[in-house]
C-alpha cells in the first residue's frame, strides 16, 4: 500500500473577510483608533501627516511578510538581538588524537626536451600573401 507524505507545520490564520485575518484587522483597527484620537489633539495639517505615517506603518505590519514570517516578528527579533547581551567565548577544541605529520609525495617536474619547429603551413603562407598583397 502506497504511503503519501502528510503535510506538517501548517499554520494558517483564520480570515474575517476575504483576505483580512484577525491580526491584520486589529492592526488596522488600532491605527484607526490612534488617528481618531490624534484628530482631536493635533492641528489639521499635522494630523494628516501623522495619520498617513500611522496607516502606512499599520499596513506594513499587517500585510508584509519576509520568508513567510510576519514583519513584526522580524522587527522584535532584531530589537531583542541588538538589546540582548552577547557572550563571545572561544574554547580551544582538543583533538581526539595527536596530530601526525602527513608525508606528501614530491611533485616531479617534467623536463622539456627540444622543441620541434613546425613547418610553415599553407594557411600561414596564404595569410602572409594576403597581408603583403603579393601573388
- 48 in any annotated domain: yes
Q: What is the pLDDT of residue 6?
A: 82
In a domain, 113, yes or no: no
Its domain, for residue 39, covers 31-83
Q: What is the Cβ-side half-sphere exposure of residue 29, based on CA atoms within 13 angstroms? A: 7
77 vs 125 pLDDT, higher one: 77
Q: Is residue 60 part of a domain?
A: yes
Domain count, the chain: 1
The per-residue pLDDT for 103 is 79
Q: Is it the case that residue 127 has pLDDT exceeding 90?
A: no
- pLDDT for position 38: 95
In the predicted model, is pLDDT for residue 97 greater than 70?
no
| Of 21, 62, 53, 16, residue with least CA distance to 34 | 53
Asked, for residue 6, whether it belongs to a domain, the answer is: no
Q: Residue 44 has which C-alpha cell?
A: 489639521
Residue 116 falls within a domain, yes or no? Answer: no
pLDDT bin (cut points 50, 70, 90) of residue 30 is: very high
Q: Over 70: is that where the pLDDT of 135 sits?
A: no
> Does 70 map to a domain?
yes
Q: How much is the pTM?
A: 0.53
Q: Averaged over 98-103, what is the pLDDT?
A: 72
At 71 the pLDDT is 92
The neighbouring-strand residues paired with 15 are: 21
Amino acid at each position: 500500500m502506497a504511503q503519501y507524505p502528510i503535510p506538517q507545520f501548517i499554520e494558517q490564520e483564520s480570515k474575517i473577510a476575504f483576505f483580512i485575518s484577525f491580526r491584520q484587522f486589529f492592526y488596522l483597527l488600532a491605527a484607526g483608533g490612534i488617528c481618531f484620537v490624534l484628530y482631536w489633539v493635533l492641528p489639521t495639517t499635522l494630523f494628516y501627516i501623522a495619520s498617513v505615517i500611522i496607516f502606512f506603518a499599520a499596513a506594513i505590519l499587517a500585510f508584509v511578510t519576509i520568508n513567510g514570517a510576519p514583519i513584526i516578528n522580524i522587527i522584535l527579533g532584531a530589537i531583542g538581538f541588538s538589546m540582548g547581551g552577547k557572550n563571545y567565548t572561544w574554547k580551544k577544541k582538543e583533538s581526539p588524537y595527536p596530530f601526525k605529520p602527513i608525508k606528501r609525495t614530491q611533485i616531479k617536474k617534467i623536463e622539456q626536451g627540444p622543441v620541434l619547429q613546425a613547418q610553415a603551413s599553407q594557411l600561414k603562407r596564404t595569410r602572409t600573401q594576403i597581408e603583403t598583397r603579393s601573388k
